[in-house]
Structure 1
Amino acid sequence: MADADHMPMHSSYMDYAEHERTYRGFTFAAKWGTAVIAGIIILLAIFLV
């Protein structure tokens, strides 16, 4: 059942520039998202405790 796709997937079909751009965007968002959440938690700990 896993091979019911019937469409060959070769690396030549992949747009590496777009893949790199997407990966960099994801890592950028993950890094800054984590920093913002950590900052919010620290501020909550300072001002609410």
Structure 2
Amino acid sequence: MAEHKHGSMDITDQQNTFDGFIKFTKNATILIILFLIFLALTGA
């Protein structure tokens, strides 16, 4: 069985996926807040 060396795995794909998820979550949160403000101001 091969020995595992901590920190030797290439994790660039995981980092890119996580960065994309954080960016999506941030943008979605901002859009939801803006939509709620719009609803509050228009009284819809």
TM category (shorter chain) comes to 0.7 to 0.9
In structure 1, the residue matched to 2:26 is: 31
> How many residues are aligned here?
39
2-side partners of 1:36 and 1:24: how far apart?
Answer: 18
- Identity across aligned pairs (percent)? 33
**Runs (5+) with no aligned partner, structure 1:** 1-9
Which 4+ stretches in 1 moved above 6 angstroms?
none
2-side partners of 1:38 and 1:15: how far apart?
Answer: 37
Superimposed CA distance per residue, residues 14-43 of structure 1 (whole angstroms, 9 cap, x where no aligned partner) = 540100000000000000000000000000
Q: TM-score, normalised by structure 1?
A: 0.68
2-side partners of 1:31 and 1:47: how far apart?
Answer: 24
